[in-house]
Amino acid sequence: MLRRRRDPQAQAAGEAERGQAADEAGGPRGDSPGGLHGRAAGGRGLTAVDGTAGRAAGRPVDDALDRSRLGPGLYVHIPFCARKCWYCDFTAYHHRPGRASRYVDDLMAEIRLYAADDAFASVTFRTLFFGGGTPSLLEPGDFCRLMACLRSSFRLDPGAEVTLEANPEDLRQDRLEAWLEAGVNRLSIGAQAAQDRLLAAAGRVHDWRAVEVGYRRARQAGFANIGLDLIFGLPGQTRDDWRETLERVLALAPGPPEHLSCYGLQVEEGTLYGRWRREGRLRLPAEEDEAAMYRHAVERLAAAGYEHYEISNFARPGFRSRHNLNYWADGDFLGLGAGAWSHWHGRRWGNQRFLGPYARALAEGRRPVAEVDEPPLKTRMADALMLGTRLVEGMPAAWFVERFGQTPEEAFGPQLADLAGRGLLERAGGRIRLTRRGLLLANEVWAALL
Ligand code: SF4
């Protein structure tokens, strides 16, 4: 999968341990193409956007932004991949069925530990997200017993959004049926590009045909909510390639996806791309080409009926990712699995990233927590504002008041006044949002809050 840097799970696992997970797992070292220690994050500095499609200044807060209906969320991390993609710096392990089965045993032990705590057993989770890594690699039997354990341990809202990240080559009939039977109602497919030469040059294990075939199978099986992840700014990718990718995605049979995530490639140290860049062998598109690709996505997808609701995300009406909206609303979520992060009532904690220490803690009956982060109030408020203003329509100021008991202006008066004076931030219809110019300079805006 590919996930942008502001995703708490990507932030959690993407740093600090490059090269170590694969070593511990017996995989190749360093950034060899076969190694497994990374994943990508979005945006080669390209948080710059100028799209305003989907904005609705002054529109009342709609259901999608009703914070009281978003969380809490449950995240389950499956840290296995068939092969490491060449751009990916995420910690992951070579997939082997036996190892994955043992990991599911450990996950179930962790689930039961948290379920014994009334703080988690007494709440109703509104979203469940299986991320990775590649959760679709789990054998159907392992996935179903994991899901049964989650359902018997936690309260899951009957209308919960249940998402599974899947790679195209795993979209087989038996798995699709097992996922549906277990209650998965949303698929997030890592498609990335429509040109086989670009997919091969990114180390992906599938071609575009696999996306078309897998997507059709998923529809035929009954999935009515499917998202695709795409990357722009890949080595060798032209503006025409990107246009063609979007056209092919929109032409997918029997109908286009409900959700699209368009991430700008970010080259990370510790990946094969990172090494090629150091060696001067990575031919990336020019920044103006990358910006043009982004602008084209904003315009083309708006014309195709998608709402541009977050910097990198587009959805048909009613199909925004509720799980991710809860992240951007600074909501509570419980993360389970090696390397998963949680955020609960202002406290954050991250699990052991290596499978060995993760399993040992659980065997000893302990939560496998490796680090706890209890940031001061000012940092939490700045984080909430940065996350909320990723939403193109802006962050309802009520979210901030509800969480911190004060308005954004009371907390960051001088900074907000300065940003407003420079035309980067504005109040509109009870929301605080980046202006068109502020969207182009989002990192500068957020830096001013720190
Ligand atoms: S499938 Fe590729 S991009 Fe996704 S986590 Fe695995 S190695 Fe990284």
Q: What is the CATH number of the domain that holds 430?
A: 1.10.10.10
Ligand 1 pocket, residue 431 CB under 6 Å? no
Q: Is the pLDDT of residue 269 over 60?
A: yes
* Between 63 and 90, the higher pLDDT residue: 90
Nearest-CA residue for ligand 1 atom 5 is: 133
Could you tell me the CA-to-CA distances from 394 to 12, 65, 116, 243 in Å, in that order?
Answer: 25, 10, 38, 28
- How many domains is the chain partitioned into structurally? 2
Within a domain: residue 360? no
Please say whether the beta carbons of 190 and 229 come within 8 A.
yes
Give the pLDDT confidence score for residue 71 in this predicted structure: 81
Domain membership of residue 351 (yes or no) is: no
Cβ of residue 92 lying under 6 Å from some atom of ligand 1? yes
Q: Which of 58-67, 245-254, 328-337 has the lowest mean pLDDT?
A: 58-67
pLDDT at position 299? 95
- Do both 321 and 385 map to the same domain? no
Residue 36 pLDDT exceeds 60: no
pLDDT value, residue 346: 85
Ligand 1 within 6 A of CB of 133: yes
pLDDT at site 96: 86
Q: At residue 234, does pLDDT exceed 50?
A: yes
- Over residues 279-292, the mean pLDDT reads 94
Q: Would you say the CB of residue 95 lies under 6 angstroms from ligand 1? A: no
Report the percentage of the chain scoring pLDDT > 90: 75
pLDDT at residue number 16:
29
Quickly state the pLDDT bin for 51 (edges 50, 70, 90).
very low
pLDDT of residue 22: 33
Mean predicted lDDT score pLDDT of the chain = 86
Cβ of 87 less than 6 Å from ligand 1: no
Residue 343 forms part of a structural domain? no
Residue 134 within any structural domain of the chain = yes
- 316 shares a domain with 403: no
In a domain, 337, yes or no: no
User: Atom of ligand 1 at shortest distance to CA of 39?
Assistant: 8
- Comparison of pLDDT for 39 and 5, the residue scoring more: 5
* 88 Cα–ligand 1 center, Å: 6
Residue 82 lies in a domain: yes
Query: Is residue 408, in this structure, part of any structural domain at all?
Result: yes
Same domain, 400 and 317: no
Nearest CA to ligand 1 atom 4: 1
pLDDT value for 7: 55
Give φ, ψ of 69 to 5 degrees: -105, 5
**CB-CB contact of 18 with 37 (8 Å):** yes
- 313 lies in the same domain as 212: yes
Structural domain including 441 reads: 378-450
**Looking at the predicted structure, is the pLDDT value of residue 20 above 70?**
no
434 in a domain, yes or no?
A: yes
- Give the nearest ligand 1 atom to 81 CA: 6
Closest atom of ligand 1 to CA, residue 87: 3
202-229 residue pLDDT tens: 999 999 999 999 999 999 999 999 999 9
Residue 65: its pLDDT value, please? 66
Pocket flag, ligand 1, residue 88 (CB < 6 Å): yes
Find out whether 308 and 314 touch, Cβ atoms under 8 Å: yes
Q: From 328, 362, 390, give the residue that closes a domain.
A: 328
Tell whether 164 and 50 lie within a shared domain: yes
Q: Is 10 in the pocket of ligand 1 (CB under 6 A)?
A: no
Q: Mark whether 12 and 127 lie in a shared domain.
A: yes
* CATH code at position 51: 3.80.30.20
137 and 197, same domain (yes or no): yes
Give the Cα separation of 330 and 325 in Å (integer): 9
Which phi and psi angles does 307 have, rounded to 5°? Answer: -90, 125
Q: What is the per-residue pLDDT for 32?
A: 24
Name 82's Cβ contacts closer than 8 Å, sequence gap at least 6: 95, 134, 137, 167, 169, 205
Q: What is the ipTM of this complex?
A: 0.99
Q: What is the mean pLDDT of residues 174-199?
A: 98
pLDDT confidence of residue 13: 37
Average pLDDT of the residues in 118-145: 96
What does the buried/exposed string (b/e) look like for 127-163 if buried means 16 or more CB atoms within 10 Å of the residue's CB? bbbbbbbbbbbbebebbbbbbebbeebbebeeebbbb
C-alpha 18 to ligand 1 mean position (Å): 14
Q: Name the band, by pLDDT with cuts 50, 70 and 90, for residue 446.
A: confident
Q: Is 81 in the pocket of ligand 1 (CB under 6 A)?
A: yes
Q: Is 90 in the pocket of ligand 1 (CB under 6 A)?
A: yes
Do 382 and 323 belong together in one domain?
no
Q: Tokens at residue 215, please? A: 């997507």
Q: Are residues 386 and 324 in the same domain?
A: no
